[in-house]
A and B are shown apart, each in its own frame.
Chain A
Amino acid sequence: MSSLLDMSQAPPPADCITVMEKDGEMKSLPIGLEPPLSPIDNYPVVSVSKDLSRVSSQRENVKSAFIPTERTVWQRALHAWYDQGFSGLFEEIVNSKDEVPGSAAKVATGVLSVLRTVNSLSVSLFPHLSLSNEELVIKFAEVADWLNSPVRAFAWHPHTTKFALALQDDSVHVNTVGSSLVPILKHKQQKYVAHLAWQPLSASVLAVACQTCVLIWHVEPMSLAARPSASSVQVLQQPGHSPVTHLAWDPTGKLLLSASPTDTAIMAWSVPTESCTPLRRFGGGGISLLSWSPEGSKVMSATPSPVFRVWETQKWNCEVWSQLSGRCTAACWSYDGQVLLFSMEGDPVLHAIKFGTQHALLSGSTSTGTSDISGVSTAVMVADLSDVTLTSEDGEGVRVGGLVRQMVWSKTSERLAVLFEGPDGQISSLVAIFKTTVHPVVQILPSGFVRGYSGEVPHHIAFQPSFDKGALLSVVWSSGRVAYIPMYFVAEEQIGTFQFQHSSLNGHGGRQLYTGLT
């Protein structure tokens, strides 16, 4: 099977940027002619400058401003031990291998790996357990190139035009449409921010995944404070559950799941009571990805090994999907939670699993078998995205496709955006957009590409959940610019209601005309 991308329209030329989708086509404009930074009604203009996103060095805090920095590695290790216990101590030694004798570094690496293994209670040694916290976050964070990206995490509010982004200095900025006030959230435990998530059915609650904990901020929309006080923050912490790299809220806003690549348990938090229930299944070595289906009946959790699980959310049983070609790198659910789309490491192909309706799920859940969540035993390959060289509109060859780094599906499941990673680990400079249908069968057709300014590489993509004129894709570029690409179309679920209104209007009008004539 040849790559699906062969069929797509030619990528925009290098001196153009993509601005929107209209009439079913992606539209690009030459640089210089593009509309002002924010083409959508007063959406916040965000461009994180490099000096704002100062690279925070290892484990620095306020104290380091006063203590001379020529501390020996052992002093720093002592400090790390005081801060984070034994694993912090060994991690500090592993991080500064060059400054300690080789044997000591080896011992520390070994001990760190053993500590982590014991922590995750895993039976076999997983290679990722020997990585340091930072390496773990770089590998499993949602943002591509987490270490160098000016924006380290990004999240849209589920109901309003508002988003939060985390910068390299570990601060979180909250941008709201029509408001110039940008609250900046800072907390001393807010380090290595890997993921952000807004609580559904709430205006103010934001969960931040940090190195050692999950922080719950209450960003009051009516408050005029530019720096909300850190005293109202809830700290959700569990021993052995670090670094936290993924979060997922229950669509009803009741539960928050958090996951760490070193912990085999998903923590299910009841945020107001700050109590957590570990959902532990052995095997896999940790959790690298979480995705809650939009209607709330299922949760997908991937592991750093070629295994992932799908949980049903009534009794919290799970089924295991194994024999993958690599670990699952990206996954997303259709709007009705009936189709799971996923990609694997080392395989440029999208697979889909079709799940039964919720009714079938309920009748099945009483018999305790864990394998009847989906009712199917194999995933279907739905698209081949292997890399191809396309000729752009100005006749230049552009290489697109490859392994999937990130993949997002719009709210109505009619547009799919994919961020690629080439075989050499380089992120592709084009974001591919696909048109999709879910029923009766999953269909994926190429629609076009999104290109930024020359030299810009996309680091994070997301659809705004509350956009109602089609779909709106936000792209965080490597320059720190947040671009909005609106895609105007009439969603399929709206077509039914439009037709109904249209025909009734016609009937009404006709009658009036008739009475007028008589």
Chain B
Amino acid sequence: MDSVVYWYKTEVYFWRSAGSLFWSILCLPPLTVIYVFLCNLSLLHPLSGFSGFLSEVLSVSFILLLGLITAVLIAVACTATFTVVPEVAETRLQSFLGLLRWSRLLHALVCVLGGSCVAWCSTHFMGDRFSGLTSTVVTSGQELLALNESHLFVVLSGATAGLFHYASFHLQHQNYLAFPTLQRDKYFRVRGGMVEYIGQCCRLMWLQIRIFYLFYWLLGGTYRAWVIELLNLHTVWNTQPLDTIFGLLDISLLWQTALCSLFIMYTWGMAAILYRVYHTQHLAFLDLSHLSQQSASRRQEVFSLSQPGGHPHTWRAVCSACLQQVEALTSSVHTANLATLASVPLQHPAEKIFTTAGCEAVPSASVPQTPAKPVPLKTKLYSALKDKPVLSYFLMELPDAKSRQLFAACQIQIWAIEALSHLAAASYTEDKYGVVQQTLTPIFTSLVSLQDHVEKHFKLQPTAVRRSNRDPPPQPHDLLRQQLRVTLKTAVYRLTNKFGRHFGDLQLSGDCMKRLRPFMDYKE
């Protein structure tokens, strides 16, 4: 197993990461050119705006700034961490606390600094009003060095954009590598992903702009005073200060700030999309599941006998690897089910007898109660806080978080089940030497037992809350367990469809046969 991890780290991981980074860097110059064009867009003077755009793009400083933006992109991409197992938080508080984890703080820092850095670069594209932190103002014949508040505003907004990118990256599970349903070419996946991301990015930008404007309106004055103090600048009151409502009602400022945020979020998000696309191609179990469905010639290799000796080593290895996964999941679901059953508060048996017998005269208080166990202080405090209205929002356990945690890593099992059922079904016509026949019984038994356990688990869960249209759509990985459930059902149907007439020859246990019966009649 270690050697596989080592092989993956050296041979696959590095090249895929490098490939995705290479393409993000390659996409950056065209995006920057588009950005500069939009920056210089002017409705009243379209020609002068265009000439400004050309002179900007063709200058040497453009290349230097592009280099800096690229460096920031590389830093952000390199500090981001991705995961294949979705993180399931039990409470809202936990998911927010996840943002402050040590391992992620470096990424957060890079995002904030990188955001302000890119925003600083962009102030150079925006024209004279925004470039430079200070400007010389001539007042009553005196040249004074004054603060350029617009510049400060844009840079601060860039930093917030970086922070928002970081938060959405983790809270909206952009760090989760979801494996695609269809194995399309990279080009089409990237194209689809990037077009879709524009909309997401605009929504995120809109949220960030609103919050940032509110923040600046409340606290902008303090910051300005602090910077003026720090740089020993003069306060000049001939321009409208930006922390007032009139100051903020500036269309040009809004346009530049929004565009800059969009640029930051989009370029970084694009790097994440490329990373996800590169890293979700052809892995062992995924590939097995695909070959079992789609390639007859590669299935032949699985069903072949190894020489000398004529042993079906390939099939045995494949089958045992898959069954191992299935059985591991079965046992963990079983354990979870037992835990759920144990935690259900059972009515006291004595009490029950009295009520059913109708002896209402016997007061239930007379029934000896088991003394309550002392509750630890932490739990007490936790349960007390849980009842407070605002805190309960954060501390309340999210619906079926436990169940989602249990099935968070079941992607591998889904592939294993698909591969097993497809291979077994294909063996009906393609297996020349009968290598699969010996293992049909364990395959049936373990699939049916997992199916049974999973169905039991879903029955033990409280019924799902009805989703209204206003709720955000569920994250795809939240529904991974649903996919497991459906995959299992389909897999059992696939096998009963193929082998239904030959069940007598399979030596299945009576219990297993009983569970297969509804599948035979299409009644499950």
Give chain A's interface residues, CB within 8 Å of chain B.
Answer: 157, 159-160, 201-204, 221-222, 231, 252-255, 268, 270-275, 277-280, 296-297, 313-317, 358-359, 362, 368
Contacts and interface: CB of A to CB of B under 8 A. Distances in A.
Given A201-B493, A222-B523, A252-B494, A273 B483 contact: yes
Interface in B481-524: 482-483, 485-487, 489-490, 493-494, 497, 518, 522-524
Interface in B337-385: none
A331 B490 CA distance: 28
B18 to A, nearest CB: 22
B192 A280 contact: yes
A316 B182 contact: yes
3 closest A-B pairs by beta carbon, nearest first, are A272-B482, A201-B493, A272-B483
A272 B185 contact: no
B297 A362 contact: yes
Contact of A275 (B188, B476, B494): B476
Contacts of B476: 270, 273-275
Contact of B296 (A203, A315, A358): A358
Interface in B399-441: 418, 422
A202 B493 contact: yes
Contact of B182 (A201, A203, A277): A277
A277 B297 contact: no
Contact of A255 (B181, B294, B295, B489): B181
A275 B181 CA distance: 9
B523 A297 contact: no
A273 B297 CA distance: 31
19 contacts: A202-B486, A222-B518, A231-B466, A252-B293, A252-B494, A253-B490, A253-B493, A254-B490, A272-B483, A273-B479, A273-B480, A273-B483, A274-B473, A274-B474, A275-B181, A275-B476, A313-B294, A314-B290, A317-B185
Interface string B204-237: 0000000000000000000000000000000000
Contact of B479 (A221, A272, A277): A272
Contacts of A201: 489-490, 493-494, 497
Given A202-B490, A203-B524, A362-B295, A368 B181 contact: no
Contacts of A157: 522
A470 B360 CA distance: 69
A62 B182 CA distance: 40
B523 A315 contact: no
Nearest to A222: B523
Contacts of A254: 181, 418, 487, 490
Contacts of B518: 222
B94 interface: no
Contacts of A278: 192
A79 B34 CA distance: 40
Contacts of B182: 255, 268, 277, 279, 316
A314 B296 contact: no
A4 B192 CA distance: 46
A159 B476 CA distance: 30
Contact of B188 (A221, A316, A362): A316
B483 A270 contact: yes
Most buried by B among A201, A204, A313: A201
A201 B491 CA distance: 8
A411 to B, nearest CB: 14
Contacts of B489: 201-202
Contact of A297 (B294, B297, B422, B487): B294
A277 B55 CA distance: 42
Main secondary structure of the interface of A (DSSP, over half): loop
Contacts of B296: 358-359, 362
A159 B524 CA distance: 13
Nearest to B290: A314
B523 A272 contact: no
B450 to A, nearest CB: 16
Contacts of B188: 279, 316
Nearest to A317: B185
B490 A315 contact: no
A202 B524 CA distance: 8
Contacts of A279: 182, 184, 188
B185 A315 contact: yes
Interface string B178-214: 0011111100100010000000000000000000000
Contact of B523 (A203, A255, A313, A316): A203
Given A280-B192, A297-B294, A273 B490 contact: no
Given A231-B466, A275-B476, A221 B522 contact: yes
A222 B487 CA distance: 21
Nearest to A269: B181
Contact of B183 (A160, A271, A316, A359): A316
Query: Which of A253, A275, A317, A362 has most chain B Cβ within 10 Å?
Result: A275
Contact of B485 (A255, A272, A316): A272
Contacts of B480: 273
A272 B181 contact: no
A252 B294 contact: no
Contacts of B522: 157, 159-160, 203, 221
B486 A272 contact: yes
Contact of A273 (B466, B482, B493): B482
Nearest to B524: A203
A241 B180 CA distance: 21
Interface in B443-491: 466, 473-474, 476, 479-480, 482-483, 485-487, 489-490
B273 to A, nearest CB: 14
Given A255-B181, A271-B486, A273-B480, A159 B297 contact: no
B98 to A, nearest CB: 23
Contact of B192 (A203, A270, A277, A315): A277
Contacts of B474: 274
A277 B486 contact: no
A275 B474 CA distance: 9
A159 B523 CA distance: 11
A271 B489 CA distance: 14
A252 B493 CA distance: 10
A316 B187 CA distance: 12
Nearest to A358: B296
A495 to B, nearest CB: 17
Contacts of B290: 314
Most chain B beta-carbon neighbours within 10 Å: one of A278, A314, A358: A314
- In this complex, which of A160, A274, A280, A359 has the most chain B Cβ atoms within 10 angstroms of its Cβ? A274
Contacts of B181: 254-255, 268, 270, 275, 277
Nearest to B469: A235
B295 A159 contact: no
B184 A315 contact: yes
B489 to A, nearest CB: 7
A422 to B, nearest CB: 40
B409 to A, nearest CB: 15
Contacts of A274: 473-474, 476, 479
